[in-house]
């Protein structure tokens, strides 16, 4: 029996369950990703995406599965953006960060825990994300963002996510993406506040050089997760060719306002 | 001349959200920033006048609406 026939004969209410995927891997000597690819290609939705379905069609799910997203920075924003992209079904992630988890990251950074202190953030994320979704392919780059070395990574990605914590580097990454016409999702936070823009240069948001107000007011978890959600929504919209942000968006969790500039 | 000044995020703390304020002719956006001591709170992020991004050297006109956001750079 061919793999596809096997899958069709072992569905659960029309969805591909994990048990069938594991059985197929043994029977046909292939990996998890191969099985999911065969299913999605033939309009069979893995059961894990059942609750995506009213929002994301099976065809769109296959588009996400084939997509590659580059996340630069694996701290607050990068940790939650990459988990959301993993759960929603983006197939390939490249995670870039040379930093290790430290104790002052525990208030907000996904997958930081007393056990992971001192470990490279990009590697810890890779392990956890692949455990969540075995169909996912993650490449961890354990060096800090470097405009020359990372230009190649930008070319490989369908969308680039700015999860850096330095305004000058954010501007530089936006410029690299803009020059290459590469879809780019900016996000930044400080205290109760956040800002976003998609596929645009960032100088209008950073009139002056140097660090922002986050150095004084810090980064609480709720602002991190809020900002990561908006960035993740933008990434998915870009990958699926849906309408996305056309002007910068400023988020205010103190007065609960979203302001389009 | 009258100018409407709108402040956002941390710039509001101890100041105001929006106010009509009186400035002498020839006042620049930078002067507004300086008189409100905004840069003691944070470097400037976004500066807009009447919904358009402008440079701090922009000379304000009667009835202008200036909006000021602190710089947000955390990740």
Q: Is B65 helix (H, G, I), strand (E, B) or coil?
A: strand
pLDDT at A212: 79
Domains in chain A: boundaries = 3-56, 67-260
User: What is the domain extent for residue B52?
Assistant: 2-70
pLDDT at A244: 96
Find the residue in A nearest to B48 (Cα). Answer: A261
Find the residue in A nearest to B72 (Cα). Answer: A212
> pLDDT by residue (tens digit) across B13-54?
999 999 999 999 999 999 999 999 999 988 999 999 999 999
pLDDT at A1: 64
In CATH terms, the superfamily for domain A67-260 is NAD(P)-binding Rossmann-like Domain (3.40.50.720)
Q: Is residue B75 part of a domain?
A: no
pLDDT at A112: 97
pLDDT at A21: 97
In chain A, DSSP assigns E strands to: 15-16, 45-46, 68-72, 92-96, 137-141, 159-162, 184-190, 193-198, 249-252, 257-260
Please give the tally of structural domains in chain B: 1
Residues of A in contact with B52 (CB under 8 A): none
pLDDT at A210: 76
- Closest by CA to A72, choosing from A188, A180, A181, A211, is A188
Q: Residues A228, A187: contact at Cβ < 8 Å?
A: yes
Q: Is residue B33 part of a domain?
A: yes
Q: Is B16 helix (H, G, I), strand (E, B) or coil?
A: coil
For the whole model, what pTM was predicted? 0.95
CB of B44 within 8 Å of a chain A CB? The answer is yes
Q: What is the DSSP string of A192-234?
A: TEEEEEESS-SGGG--S-S--THHHH---HHHHHHHHHHHHHH
Q: What angle do CA A12, A13, A14 make, to 5 degrees?
A: 90
**What ipTM, to 2 d.p.?**
0.91
Task: Inform me whether the pLDDT recorded for A193 exceeds 80.
Answer: yes
Computed over every residue of chain A, the mean pLDDT equals 95
CATH number of B8's domain: 3.10.20.30
**What is the distance between the alpha carbons of residues A71 and A184, in angstroms, rounded to a whole number?**
10
> pLDDT by residue (tens digit) across A103-139?
999 999 999 999 999 999 999 999 999 999 999 999 9
């Amino acid at each position: 029996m061919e793999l596809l026939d096997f899958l069709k004969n072992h569905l659960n209410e029309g969805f591909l369950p994990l048990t069938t995927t594991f059985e197929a891997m043994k029977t046909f000597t292939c990996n998890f990703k191969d099985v999911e690819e065969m299913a999605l290609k033939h309009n069979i939705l893995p059961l894990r995406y059942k609750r995506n379905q009213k929002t994301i069609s099976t065809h769109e799910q296959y588009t996400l599965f084939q997509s590659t997203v580059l996340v630069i920075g694996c701290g607050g924003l990068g940790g939650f953006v990459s988990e959301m992209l993993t759960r929603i079904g983006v197939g390939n992630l490249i995670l870039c960060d040379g930093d290790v988890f430290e104790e002052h990251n525990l208030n907000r950074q996904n997958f930081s825990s007393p056990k992971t202190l001192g470990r490279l953030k990009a590697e810890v994320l890779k392990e956890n994300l692949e455990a969540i979704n075995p169909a996912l392919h993650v490449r961890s780059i354990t060096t800090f963002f470097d405009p020359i070395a990372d230009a190649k990574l930008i070319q490989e990605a369908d969308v680039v996510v700015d999860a850096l914590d330095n305004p000058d580097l954010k501007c530089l990454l936006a410029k690299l993406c803009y020059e290459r016409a590469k879809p780019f999702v900016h996000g930044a936070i400080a205290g109760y506040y956040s800002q976003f823009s998609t596929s645009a240069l960032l100088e209008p948001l950073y009139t002056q050089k140097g660090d922002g107000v986050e150095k004084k007011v810090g980064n609480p978890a709720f602002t991190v997760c809020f900002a990561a959600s908006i960035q993740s929504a933008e990434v998915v919209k870009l990958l699926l060719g849906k309408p996305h942000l056309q002007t910068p968006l400023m988020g205010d969790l103190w007065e609960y306002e979203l302001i389009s500039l | 001349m009258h100018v409407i000044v709108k402040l956002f995020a941390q710039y509001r703390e101890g100041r105001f959200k929006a106010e009509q304020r009186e400035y002498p002719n020839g006042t620049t956006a930078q002067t507004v920033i300086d008189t409100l001591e905004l840069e003691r709170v944070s470097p400037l992020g976004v500066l807009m006048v009447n919904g358009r991004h402008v440079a701090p050297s922009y000379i304000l006109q009667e009835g202008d609406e200036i909006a000021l956001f602190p710089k947000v750079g955390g990740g």
